[in-house]
Structures are given as structure tokens and as C-alpha cells.
């Protein structure tokens, strides 16, 4: 069982940032990644549809023998994770914006969060922020257009810089010292953000936490892959164009187009 792969899915290719953190922390693990781009975005769909798509992705991964599922998508986590956990026996790990560590560590008592509309309005997000951030100012900003630019290969571009500058402006005015990235695409913005942010503002995303949770769960359940041979890391996307995903992942991994 421990040699079986970790399954990861996202509505698009952004969750590859989560894959990278998992692969860095657990280099022995076999993985299978599904980008459900044919059905993206999930954020504009109703809860029932998101649950349906999440079940479809999970069952495909379970049919491929996955020992653990990572829902590398904030929207799918919020809407479907309880149902997935109740329905399947394998451990299921989700993702949510890292408000808690930011709220615990801020010195200026102001933090910024950049996320999609669906994530900012979701119940899970508001529950988390209520719990930990009562005395802290949270500047919420919808990252309108960012995902589209990344998906068209314009992660580093004048358009992106302009967009980010306008989104950061109210945050910097409020003197934030933590910027929370609430979408799996956004870690790809970090090099650009570092150029725009003053030195004292720290960027925090959920990738490392998700990887850490994956490790703890595998370890405590005796599911860590201790085999020393080179792992198999598979990537599937259900649209024809594999180029953007391939460029985000780099040449050492191979992306395939697959109907699902």
C-alpha cells in the first residue's frame, strides 16, 4: 500500500505549486496529478456541481490506486471535502488560505489576502478568519484576471505587474506585514510579488502546510514510501493544450492530455 501514489487534483494547473511542495518534502512518493481544466473554473459553479466534479476526480485517482488524496483547490475543498471524507476510506487532505499563521504572527495587526471570489466569499474562509483574526485587520482582494494571465503564459508580464500593483495598493496603505496567497495558482506570482513588496512584508501560501500535513498523515498511518527507486510523477490534463502546465512544471516532468 505504501508504494501506491498520492493523488492530487485541482480545477486547473495551479495545484502544481502544491505538487512541487509535496515532491520537495516527500521525494520518494509516487504521485498522480489531475488538472480538470475542461471544467474550470469551479468557483462559478453551484455546490452540487463542484461536489460531482470532485467525486469524479477522486474516483479516477482511487481507480489508479491512490493511497491518499490531496484536494489542491480551495473551492473544491470548501464545497466538497466533508462529503469526500465521509464517502471514501483513504485520508483526504484539503487546502485553505493560511490566515491562521499570518494572523498569529503579524506585528502590524494588518494582513492582506489575495484570492478568487469564490474563496473569499466561502463559509470556510470566513470561519477561519473569525476564529483567529478577531483583532486583526484583513484586507481582502479578489485576484480578478490573475489566473487567466498565468494560464496564457503571462506570469511575468507588464499586464501582470500592473494588475498586482493595483491589488497591492490598498494593502500597503493599510500597512500589512503578511500577504496570504489564497489560490493555488498564486505561488507562481512570488518572484514578481517580491519585486513589488517592501522587504518587511512576508508572503505566505498553503503549499508547505499541505505538504507537512501529507507527511504527518502518511507517517502516522505507516504509508510513507520508503523505497529508494526513482518515483513516478504523472500529470494529466483534460484539454488538448498541455503547454502552460508543462512550462509551469519544467522539463523534468511530463504532462499528458487525457479525457476524463
- What is the dihedral sign for C-alpha 210, 215, 103, 78? positive
4 lines the binding site for a copy of itself (CB under 8 A)? no
In sequence order, what are the residues at sequence separation of 6 or more whose Cβ sits closer than 8 angstroms to the Cβ of residue 139? 110, 111, 112, 113, 170, 171, 174, 176
Q: For a copy of itself, which residue of 56, 217, 231, 234 counts as binding (CB under 8 A)?
A: 217
Identify residues 52-91 at the interface with a copy of itself (CB under 8 A). 85-86, 91
75 is in an annotated binding site: yes
42 is in an annotated binding site: yes
Q: For a copy of itself, which residue of 4, 128, 175, 221 counts as binding (CB under 8 A)?
A: 221
Least CB distance from residue 203 to a copy of itself, whole Å?
17
Q: Is the peptide bond before 114 cis (omega within 30 degrees of 0)?
A: no
Shorter beta-carbon distance to a copy of itself: residue 85 or 117: 85
The answer to whether residues 41 and 12 touch, using CB atoms and an 8 Å cutoff, is yes
Active site residue 73: yes
The answer to whether residues 147 and 185 touch, using CB atoms and an 8 Å cutoff, is yes
Shorter beta-carbon distance to a copy of itself: residue 116 or 206: 206
15 lines the binding site for a copy of itself (CB under 8 A)? no
Q: For a copy of itself, which residue of 92, 163, 176, 245 counts as binding (CB under 8 A)?
A: 92
Name the DSSP letter for residue 39.
G
Active site residue 66: no
Residue-by-residue DSSP string for 141-191: EE-TTHHHHHHTT-SSSHHHHHHHHHHHHHHHHTT-SEEEE-STTGGGGHH
Q: Which residues pair with 233 in a beta bridge?
A: 31
Q: For a copy of itself, which residue of 135, 222, 228, 252 counts as binding (CB under 8 A)?
A: 222
10 is in an annotated binding site: yes
Catalytic option among 73, 76, 189, 204: 73
Q: Smallest Cα–Cα separation from 73: which of 144, 12, 30, 124?
A: 12
213 lines the binding site for a copy of itself (CB under 8 A)? yes
228 lines the binding site for a copy of itself (CB under 8 A)? no
Binding site for a copy of itself (CB under 8 A): 85-86, 91-93, 213, 216-217, 219-222
- Residues belonging to the binding site for substrate are 10-11, 42-43, 74-75, 184-185
Catalytic residues: 73, 183
Amino acid at each position: 500500500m505504501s508504494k501506491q501514489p498520492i493523488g492530487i487534483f485541482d480545477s486547473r494547473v495551479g495545484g502544481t505549486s502544491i505538487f512541487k511542495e509535496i515532491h520537495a518534502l516527500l521525494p520518494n512518493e509516487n504521485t498522480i496529478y489531475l488538472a480538470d481544466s475542461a471544467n474550470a473554473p469551479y468557483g462559478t459553479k453551484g455546490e452540487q456541481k463542484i461536489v460531482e466534479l470532485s467525486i469524479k476526480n477522486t474516483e479516477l485517482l482511487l481507480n489508479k490506486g491512490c493511497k491518499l488524496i490531496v484536494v489542491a483547490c480551495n473551492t473544491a475543498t470548501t464545497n466538497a471535502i466533508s462529503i469526500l471524507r465521509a464517502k471514501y476510506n483513504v485520508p483526504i487532505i484539503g487546502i485553505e488560505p493560511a490566515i491562521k499563521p499570518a494572523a498569529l504572527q503579524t506585528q502590524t495587526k494588518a494582513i492582506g489576502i489575495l484570492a478568487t471570489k469564490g474563496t473569499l466569499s466561502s463559509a470556510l474562509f470566513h470561519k477561519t478568519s473569525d476564529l483567529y483574526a478577531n483583532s486583526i485587520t484583513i484586507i481582502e482582494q479578489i485576484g480578478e484576471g490573475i489566473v487567466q494571465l498565468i494560464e496564457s503564459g503571462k506570469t511575468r508580464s507588464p499586464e501582470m505587474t500592473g494588475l498586482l500593483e493595483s491589488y497591492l495598493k490598498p494593502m500597503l496603505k493599510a500597512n500589512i506585514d503578511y500577504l496570504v496567497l489564497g489560490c493555488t495558482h498564486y505561488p507562481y506570482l512570488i518572484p514578481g510579488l517580491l519585486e513589488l513588496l517592501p522587504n518587511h512584508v512576508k508572503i505566505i501560501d498553503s503549499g508547505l502546510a499541505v505538504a507537512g500535513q501529507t507527511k504527518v498523515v502518511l507517517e502516522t498511518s505507516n504509508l510513507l514510501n520508503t523505497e529508494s527507486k526513482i518515483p513516478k510523477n504523472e500529470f494529466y490534463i483534460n484539454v488538448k493544450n498541455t503547454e502552460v502546465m508543462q512550462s509551469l512544471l519544467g522539463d523534468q516532468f511530463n504532462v499528458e492530455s487525457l479525457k476524463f
